[in-house]
Amino acid sequence: MISEHQLRTVIYNEWRQEHSVSAATANINNIFGGGTVSPWAVNRWFNRFVLEDTELRRQLAALTSTTVNDDELLRCVKANPEASTRECAAILGCCQRTIVTHPDNLGCCRVMVRWIPPRRQIREETATQPRPDLHSRKHLLSVWCDAKGPIYYELLPAGRTVTASVYIDKLEKWLMQFEKNI
What confidence tens digit (pLDDT) does each residue in 148-174 have?
888 778 887 777 777 888 888 888 887
CB 90 within 8 A of CB 96: no
What region does 93 belong to: left with phi over 0, alpha with psi -120 to 50, or beta?
Answer: left
CATH code given to domain 4-50: 1.10.10
Domain boundaries, the chain: 4-50, 70-121, 140-181
Lowest average pLDDT, out of 36-40, 100-104, 135-139, 140-144, goes to 135-139
**pLDDT over threshold 80, residue 120:** no
What region does 52 belong to: left with phi over 0, alpha with psi -120 to 50, or beta?
Answer: left
Backbone φ, ψ for residue 55 (5° rounding): -70, 115
- Same fold? 4-50, 70-121: yes
C-alpha dist (Å) from residue 18 to 11, 27, 40: 11, 13, 17
Pairwise CA distance, residues 108 & 118, whole Å: 5
**Is domain 70-121 given the CATH code 1.10.10 in the classification?**
yes
Pairwise CA distance, residues 170 & 164, whole Å: 10
